[in-house]
Structure formats: C-alpha cells, structure tokens
Structure 1
Amino acid sequence: MPAHPDLADVIEALHSDLAEWMGSNAPPKVFDRFANALHDEFSSVTTTGQVIDRDTLLAGVWSARNAQPGFNIEITDIQEIAQSGSILTARFTAENQQGEVRSRRLVTAILLNTDHGYLWRSVHETATPPAE
C-alpha cells in the first residue's frame, strides 16, 4: 500500500524538529512544534520495552536541547499499514546519526488525522542492525 500523500512530510517534519532540538541551540518554537504534534494521550514503547507517556517524553526531549551537536535522523521505508476513518498506522525506519555512531529502529506509529493535521497517538520502536 503506498504512503498517504502527506504522510512522509508529517513523519519527516517531526523527526527533523527532534533532531534540530537535540543537535543545535534551537529556538523554543522547534520544541513547541514537536510537542504540539503529539496527542494529549500519546505514549511510546522504547527499544528497551519501556512505555512512556507524553509528559515523560517531552521532559526528556526538553532536557536534551543541544545535547548532541550535529545530531541527525534519517527516515526511510515509509509504509502506510492501514487506515480507518481518522486513524492511520504507518511503519518506517529511523536512523539516528551522531558523528560516526549510527543506530536504527523500525518504528510503527499510530496517527490521528484531525482538523488541524496529524497528531501522533502512539509509537513503538524496535532496534534493528545498522544498514550495510
């Protein structure tokens, strides 16, 4: 199933803001865009199996401002898995890069299509081996 027309833009925008926030002395509006993209009841399953809520994630992201200068996140292999009404499920690969260090994860995300655009409702990340 091909990706929804703006799905790639939505996924890349969120990760671009996250990378900019963590990798530079970004202005607060970058954090605000990231935070505003998350549903009030957002939760995430990390690569270590921990479930974290929106407030916990945002507190961690807030404290990570410019913690990894030059940090980058590359998004590839975006697939729309299913859509029903306003609920869209997508899967993609996210690869973090900090200098020569790379880490990859396969991400499954549930997004809600609202009157104000997509809101991220849930994310589940699984660590994967680096690309060859």
Structure 2
Amino acid sequence: MPIVIKLNGKETELPEGATIGQLLDSRKIRREMVTVQVNGAIIDRSHFDTTALKDGDEVEFLYYMGGGTKTQAGGGARYAVIGREDTEGGYMAAVPALPGCVPQGQTRREAGRNVRKALAAYIEAKRINGKPYRHVPGQAL
C-alpha cells in the first residue's frame, strides 16, 4: 500500500517502506549535495538508506548553493545559501545572513547564479537607503 508524504510542500506518493536514499536515487539527487529534513529533524547522511519514510511525513530537501559578493571596502565575503524547491515550481535560495534576500530560478543552477546578483543588489539597496551593510563575523562562511 503506498504512502503519501509532503516533499518540499507537495504531496508525493511513495511505495510503503521507501527510504530517504531510495527517494533521492529516484530523483537523481546526489547525496553529498543535499541536506534532508524529515518532520523538522535533519537526518544524518549515514542514515539515508535505513530511514524509512512514513505516511504523512514532511520532507524537505535543502541545498547548499554557495555565494558571495564584493563588499564596499573591496574585500570579499562568502555567505551561506540554503536552497530548496519552491512549492510552485523552480528553486529558492535563502541567504540567512541577509533577511529578505531570496534569489530564485527555474533550476538549482539558475537560482545559484542569481545569488551573486541578489547579494550585490541587497547591499547596494542598504547603502542607498542610508543603512550600509556591515559584515558581522560569523554571518558569512
């Protein structure tokens, strides 16, 4: 009997007993490129093949996308970027250090490319509004 999970907000039907590893493999997702969260808990990669999904589970695929931009001082900074499938299609890439900075794209790659532009626009908008962005150690990777 099949089970129904919510995968990044969309209902998805799977065979009973399906594991996280099988779900990733069926979607051709490289395990080293994704963090998997089930019902709010991050699952260790070493448990992907042994963690069976259950009816009603809420599963999120989170992708590290990288990103960065030049600061006003001319230095460089690297920011953590968390990517995920958007429930309406495409991908979103949240930048936790910069609230409201959420670049998007039709593919993960396109969303990743949009990160640099979004970071530069965010920092420039802060400067124009008289609130220059100041890098705080610990906000960037």
- Output the TM-score relative to the length of structure 2: 0.29
Kindly name which structure, 1 or 2, has the bigger radius of gyration based on alpha carbons: 2
Greater fraction of residues in strand: 1
> Relative CO higher for 1 or 2, CA cutoff 8 Å, sep ≥ 6?
1
